[in-house]
Structure 1
């Protein structure tokens, strides 16, 4: 997938998640998706490359960076917990969707219960537990 397709798919995926809000707190060049006031997806263009940045588990980020040259430490974010993804032939639609959903679930799990949107059953299963409360 090229970078524009990666961004478009990431944005569509984020828009379908419960309680996801699109903001532009860093200006018009940055689309930022949040849940419960916390960022889970950033999209922008970096030196003419369309990129996305998502939260991930440190071990997953390490594996993804080793496997995909288009995956790098998070641009302007904590390098252990965030990754940036550029377009590349090895980046699949399934990977992009999985990365966005996993980022959302990580942020969702860290929210106080009162700020967590209710999750549909398929996301509760992915979250591995009772994330509905």
Structure 2
């Protein structure tokens, strides 16, 4: 998956926005003001931090050692750093979608309803 496809994937979700609060080199993708993906899209290798259920995070790290690791500069229990180009694109899409869904699930009910996700 290329940086352009990763950006398009993240921005393809309802109400997703890209911001640069850490400078122009780090893309932060948010929904409802909360981050669901973070990464330097020009970095090699391309990596992205994604929110993850704690049990799934441990399983994914065990299944993909060196490619999925505890979130760099993030809460290691709830975030993974994913090496995008080394993993199959369908898995990356699933991980990004799971991250988005976890963040949306934590939004207030009114915000979820506006996103059409009760």
Pairing 1:43–2:56 present? no
- Consecutive unaligned residues of structure 2, counting only runs of 5 or more, are none
Paired with 2:102 and 2:47, the residues of 1 have a C-alpha distance of: 20
Query: TM-score, normalised to structure 2's length?
Result: 0.88
Is the contact made by 1:10 and 1:52 (CA closer than 8 Å) also made in structure 2? Answer: no
Aligned residues: 116
The aligned counterpart of 2:76 is: 79
Selected match of 2:90 from 62, 82, 94: 94
SS of the residue corresponding to residue 49 of structure 1 reads coil
SS of the residue corresponding to residue 79 of structure 1 reads coil
Is the contact made by 1:22 and 1:31 (CA closer than 8 Å) also made in structure 2? Answer: yes
Selected match of 2:6 from 10, 26, 45: 10
SS of the residue corresponding to residue 6 of structure 2 reads helix
SS of the residue corresponding to residue 33 of structure 1 reads strand
Alpha-carbon offset, residue 50 of structure 1: 1.9
Which deviations, in whole Å up to 9, do the C-alpha atoms of 1:24-83 show, x marking residues without a partner? 001011000000000000111697432101000011111110111210000111001000
Is the contact made by 1:65 and 1:72 (CA closer than 8 Å) also made in structure 2? Answer: yes
Pairing 1:33–2:33 present? no
Paired with 1:62 and 1:46, the residues of 2 have a C-alpha distance of: 27
Q: Residues 111 and 53 of structure 1: is their aligned pair in 2 closer, same or farther, counting only changes over 3 Å?
A: same
Is the contact made by 2:48 and 2:84 (CA closer than 8 Å) also made in structure 1? Answer: no
- Consecutive unaligned residues of structure 1, counting only runs of 5 or more, are 120-130
The aligned counterpart of 1:56 is: 52
Q: What is the RMSD computed on CA atoms of the aligned residues?
A: 1.9
Paired with 2:68 and 2:105, the residues of 1 have a C-alpha distance of: 24
